Amino acid sequence: MQTPFTTFFKYLLIPTIINLFIAYLLLKCFYKDYFHKKELNHSQEPIREHKLALLSKISLILVITLVFIKIIFVVLNINLDFRLTYIPLLSMLPIVLLSPKRVDIIKKIDWHTLIFFAAMFVLMGSVWQTGFFQLVINQSNLNIVSIPVILIVSIPLSQLLSNVPLVALYMPLLMHAGASPKELVALAAGSTIAGNLLILGAASNVIIIQNAEKRSDETITFFDFAKIGVPLTILNTLIYWVFLFFIP
């Protein structure tokens, strides 16, 4: 039995490294002036809150430890209800319980983004309950568990729905159709690289651009994003397709 972590590493580690290198080459090709051999002068930010820094280190160690514990439980087939959601919940406890600035930290959480994602899941859950999405997919006569179909459908539809809502709609269809972990990984890959195609492909793109505009006069236009995103997404899709096809 494989854990979600080992499954992702098995199917996506190598193609992701290759795609990162391709992204680097494309960016270097289009933005040559921003790549130079001069060393960047980094200023060392002094640690002002030593106790908070220590608690953050403890939380990081907890995350890594709990991930390995999760993997061990699955490998050894230990029947214990240790869900993935427990990992971040347990890891945040040192900061939330022991930091004197816990209230300020909680206030600075990006609640608008969290509410945004929660609302999207509620909306997509409502769409699923109507049966409209299932009807459209069924009438298309597509083999929804085919890896090429998963990649081809998830990327363009993410431009209309955004990738997170797309997964919320598509994944139940795959689960009902008896999809294997390999097909679910294909959905994860397709919905992720969909964010490379156009700005609206992923909510994270919108969040980054909005924050960049708030803190400076710089922005990323639709065309600026697409001239890198379109060729990058095509190459990403082909590479993931090949690796998912050949890896059993």
95-99, 121-125, 139-143, 161-165: which has the highest mean pLDDT?
95-99
Q: For position 25, what pLDDT does the model report? A: 92
How far is residue 25 CA from its own chain's centroid? 22
Q: For position 83, what pLDDT does the model report? A: 85
Q: 55: which 2 tokens?
A: 């608690």
Mean pLDDT lowest among 97-106, 190-199, 214-223, 239-248: 214-223
The one-letter amino acid code at 183 reads E
Calculate what percentage of the chain has a pLDDT beyond 90. Answer: 28
- Domain range annotation of the chain: 109-248
Q: For position 62, what pLDDT does the model report? A: 95
As a whole number, the mean pLDDT across the chain is 85
Q: Is the per-residue pLDDT at 140 higher than 80?
A: no
Mean pLDDT lowest among 39-43, 169-173, 201-205: 39-43
Q: Is the per-residue pLDDT at 1 higher than 70?
A: no
Residue 20: pLDDT band with limits 50, 70, 90: very high
Of the two residues 136 and 157, the one the predictor is more confident about is: 157
Q: Is the per-residue pLDDT at 233 higher than 90?
A: yes
Q: CA–CA separation, 156 vs 149, rounded Å?
A: 11
- How far is the CA of 64 from the CAs of 5, 70, 80, 90, 91, in angstroms? 12, 10, 19, 12, 9
Q: For position 126, what pLDDT does the model report? A: 83
CB under 8 A, 24+ apart: contacts of 225-234: 225/198, 225/199, 226/197, 226/198, 227/30, 228/26, 228/27, 228/30, 229/196, 229/197, 229/198, 229/201, 230/197, 231/26, 232/19, 232/22, 232/23, 232/26, 232/196, 233/155, 233/193, 233/194, 233/196, 233/197
Of the two residues 127 and 50, the one the predictor is more confident about is: 50
Q: For position 40, what pLDDT does the model report? A: 65
Q: CA–CA separation, 227 vs 239, rounded Å?
A: 19
Of the two residues 219 and 182, the one the predictor is more confident about is: 182
What is the average pLDDT across 153-167? Answer: 85
Residue 59: pLDDT band with limits 50, 70, 90: very high
Mean pLDDT lowest among 36-50, 140-154, 175-189: 36-50
Residue 237: pLDDT band with limits 50, 70, 90: very high
